[in-house]
Amino acid sequence: MEKINHEEFITEMIRFASSAESPSRIINQILQYICDNLHSDRAYIFEDNLDGTYSNTYEYCRDGVSAEIQNLQNVPYEGMLDTWFVEYEKSHNIMIYDMEEYRNTSDALYHLLKPQGIRTLVTGPIEINGKYIGFYGVDNPPAEYMDNISILINMMEFVISMMIRLRNYSKELEKSAIHDPLTGCKNRTALSWAYDNHFDASQSIGIVMCDLNGLKRMNDTKGHLAGDRYICDAAQILCECFGSENVYRIGGDEFAVVLTKISKEDMSRRCTHLRDLTASGSVSLSFGVEFCEHHDASFETLLKYADAKMYEDKKRYYENLNAAIEK
């Protein structure tokens, strides 16, 4: 079997680390390179779900090896993976030369790994800012390679950890670009990205344009912190009625809701629920609804139709408010 060229391996790791491609794509390329060059069956990454479990998030298998990623979701930490993390603290990485012998170390892990056909294994932690957030593993490297590849483990850990950190940073940047920081709802940019160039006119669509009533008065009389809470309360109600993934804050006191592939009956039910919640609660909203089964109009035009109906509703709100004041 061809020996591992350490210099070439390290050079490739450095090349991956300096690549301009997306971090997730690079991670998959790294796993393939590791698997192929360590003559292993499978290379993978697990990440912390922050609920006491870990899930397999990336995987590469050589030809003829069955994928396990779907079977390895929400693996418990306590009584299972905690054994490895204790060992990581002592020796930083784990090299299992014989799975049968490892049974004496952790019977629980043995029964997780053995059915996957694992005979030998190399694993180490993924560490970001001094905290373990997951681990990588390489299944069934040839036993005669185990000591040889130990020299390369630190480089593997460094590059994988760096790519995970870059991926997380990229996700945070994307989230901040398309989410409203006050309410957590998506913003106008997200609405444009979702529908301006990807609008399927053959699908049914329901649009709700909303405007808060009394926000300026709230800001003037109770302060902007109270106004912010009022906006957040409105966002929470909209998310309850329509689902957070469908709610967009598009202005200071304006929200848009867009649902596709929805029936007229379901749309009507959700809007009735919204009307009931705002009629009896602490949040007052004016809103207009546009629903179409099939349509020729552009998405922007449908937004304008809903917006016009919203202003009619707002006009009625202030007419009723003024009438009540005059009494």
- The Cα 245–Cα 285 span in angstroms is 20
Kindly tell me if the per-residue pLDDT of 151 is higher than 70: no
Residues 6 or more apart whose Cβ sits within 8 Å of residue 266: none
For residue 116, pLDDT beyond 60: yes
Given a contact cutoff of 8 angstroms between Cβ atoms, the answer to whether 75 and 46 are in contact is: yes
Per-residue model confidence (pLDDT) at position 325: 77
The CATH T-level fold of domain 186-326 is: Alpha-Beta Plaits (3.30.70)
Instruction: Give the DSSP H or E segment for 37.
Output: helix 23-37
SS3 of 38-97: the string is CCCCEEEEEEECCCCEEEEEEEEECCCCCCCHHHCCCEEHHHHHHHHHHHHHHHCCEEEC
CA dihedral sign of residues 134, 68, 10, 152: positive
pLDDT greater than 60 at residue 1: no
For 257, counting Cβ atoms within 10 Å of its Cβ (0-12 exposed, 13-18 middle, 19+ buried), the class is buried
Residue 150's pLDDT band (boundaries 50, 70, 90)?
A: low
For 246-280, give the secondary structure using H, E and C.
Answer: HEEECCCCEEEEEEECCCHHHHHHHHHHHHHHHHH
Q: Which among 301, 186, 326 has a CA at the least distance from the CA of 246?
A: 186
CA distance 159 to 29: 12
pLDDT category of residue 92 using cuts at 50, 70 and 90: confident
Tell me, what's the pLDDT at 194? 83
- Contact predicate 149/8, CB 8 Å: no
Alpha-carbon span 167 to 163, nearest angstrom:
6
C-alpha–C-alpha distance, residues 94 and 206, integer Å? 54
Q: So where are the chain's domains?
A: 6-174, 186-326
Cβ 167 vs Cβ 27: under 8 Å: yes
Please write the tens of the pLDDT for every residue from 237-255.
999 999 999 999 999 999 9
Q: Which residues contact 238 (CB under 8 A, 6 or more apart)?
A: 185, 210, 247, 255, 257, 274
What pLDDT was estimated at residue 298? 86
How far is residue 108's CA from residue 228's CA, in Å, rounded to a whole number? 50
Decide if domain 6-174 falls under CATH 3.30.450.40: yes
Confidence band (pLDDT; 50, 70, 90) for 61? very high
Q: State pTM to two decimals.
A: 0.66
Question: What are the pLDDT digits (tens) for 180-217?
Answer: 999 999 999 999 988 876 778 788 999 999 999 999 99
> Given a cut of 90, is residue 11 above it in pLDDT?
no
